[in-house]
Structure 1
Amino acid sequence: MFDTMTVTKIVGGFGGTLLVFLLGSWAAEAIYSVGSEHGEEEQAYSIEVPEGADGGGDGQQEEAVPFEEVFASADASAGERVFTKCRACHKVDGSNAVGPYLNGVVGREVASIAGFNYSGALSENFEVWDPASLNTFLENPQGTAPGTAMSYNGLPKVDDRANLIAYLDSLGG
């Protein structure tokens, strides 16, 4: 039933398959690397960066102005435009959605809406949603309150956070 010819055919089939894949790999490498060696081309446009400049772009330089000063000059109508990012999960008409409603949130106790299932992470980090705590939370929700159900990445610009908080404050309860 099993003779040497069957074994030879199986080994030959695997060897032939390996050869086809190896030749295909060499051909693809030859086609896609024609005329260029990686990293040897001269860069088309270079931007000069002064010594010591933070080129990370992580928003840390924006925080040079204290939040209280930015919040004092915040624009509620600009905050309404920022709120469009929040509309997917929050409402301002007094009804809950994926997240709790946000009208009257400024000055409200954390996790105080009856009937909404909060994660315990918010209560562990904040007591009242004052502008300073909202600013801290909105900058990086997951980093500020690990374990929170809010999956939004946050608002990196202090101006956007201040305008949004001013808008939410203007809504009242």
Structure 2
Amino acid sequence: MFDTMVITKTVASLCGALLIFLLGLWAADGLYGAHHGDEPQAYVIDTGEEDTSAEPAAEVTFEEAFQMADADAGSRVWGQCRACHALEAGRNGVGPYLHGVVNRPIGANEGFNYSGALNQVGDVWTPENLNTFISGPANAAPGTSMNFRGIADVQDRANLIAYIQSQS
């Protein structure tokens, strides 16, 4: 069934297909290849990306962020808190109500059973203590029962504290 002529035709077909592929590759490289690597670019398309070689912006401290805090922007951040907390006085949920929490003694909310870990934060919920706690509850008070990853942006934390303070 397989004689010398069939094998010769098969090998010739494969060699012909390879030759056609290589000729096509050579033609495409000639038409579309970049052969002007040392010349300057003729035009630049602005993609909207910023220059990454610029120096990074200076880190804003919490005090500066709290002075510039926007309570309306904090209302958008409040959406992360409202699942467990309420701003109405006396309405505890999974977490204690936050009405009047700014400058309130820590753990003084009536009707809520606090974990003992909050005594590591301080005595009073000052804006600075709230900032520390909101940035990462597990880091600020190891052993706390609050399962929240925290808010990384200092301005978002300042806006949130300003919003809670304005609603109280």
**TM-score, length basis structure 2:** 0.65
Equivalent residue of 2:109, what SS?
coil
Question: What residue number does 2:107 align with?
Answer: 111
Gaps of 5+ in 1: 1-47, 55-60
For 2:70, the aligned partner's letter is D
Question: What residue number does 2:162 align with?
Answer: 166
CA–CA separation in structure 2 for the residues paired with 1:141 and 1:148: 7
2:121 equivalent among 108, 111, 125:
125
1:80 equivalent among 53, 60, 75:
75
> Rg bigger for which structure?
2
Equivalent residue of 2:144, what SS?
coil
Contact 2:135 2:157 in 1 (8 A): yes
CA–CA separation in structure 2 for the residues paired with 1:124 and 1:69: 25
Are 2:152 and 1:144 equivalent residues in the alignment?
Answer: no
CA–CA separation in structure 2 for the residues paired with 1:67 and 1:92: 23
- Offset at residue 49 of structure 1 (A): 6.3
Alignment root-mean-square deviation, CA: 2.1
1:1-173 matches, cutoff 5 A:
64-94=59-89, 95-172=91-168
CA deviations on 1:109-161 (whole Å, 9 max, x unpaired) are: 00001221000111232211111110111001101100011100000001110
For 1:141, the aligned partner's letter is P
- Offset at residue 83 of structure 1 (A): 0.3
For 2:72, the aligned partner's letter is S
CA–CA separation in structure 2 for the residues paired with 1:160 and 1:141: 16
For 1:155, the aligned partner's letter is I
Gaps of 5+ in 2: 1-50
For 2:153, the aligned partner's letter is K
Question: What residue number does 1:16 align with?
Answer: none
- Percent identity reads 51
Flag as ranges the 4+ runs of structure 1 deviating above 3 A. Answer: none
Contact 2:61 2:154 in 1 (8 A): no
For 1:105, the aligned partner's letter is V
For 1:165, the aligned partner's letter is I
Change (3 A) 1:78 1:117: same
